[in-house]
Amino acid sequence: MNINDKVLLQQEFKGILLFKEGMFFRTYNQGVYILTEHLGHNLQTHIKQIKKYHNKQVIICGFPVNTINERLPNAKLFDFGVKLAFNYSIDEYSHWYERRCPEKSEAR
């Protein structure tokens, strides 16, 4: 599964999807928003411009797999990683995303 697939799945899911990547769980955009803004996790985030995602910027964060039970004890484990349903406001997320990812010119 590539990053574009992960971002699209996260966009469709009402909550957090954490994808197992080696020894870490990583999440994208809405998942980062929920973890940092609603659940109060102090995680380092990165912003990447993804060519396969129409040159849009993607916000990424993660944490070690072995800390999942203390960070998200109610999360459900799946083959790809973890799911945790969470209701959040799309409008608030959109404003947060716009503040975090100001428009940049597209890469050529």
Q: Residue 27: phi, psi to the nearest 5?
A: -135, 165
Rg (CA), the chain: 13
Token pair listed for 3: 């990053």
CB 44 within 8 A of CB 85: no
Q: Which of 72, 65, 80, 66 is nearest to 10 (CA)?
A: 80
- Tens of pLDDT along the chain (108 residues) come to 888 899 999 999 999 999 999 999 999 999 999 999 999 999 999 999 888 777 789 999 999 999 999 999 999 999 999 999 999 999 999 999 999 987 554 443
Tokens 């404003």: give the residue: 95
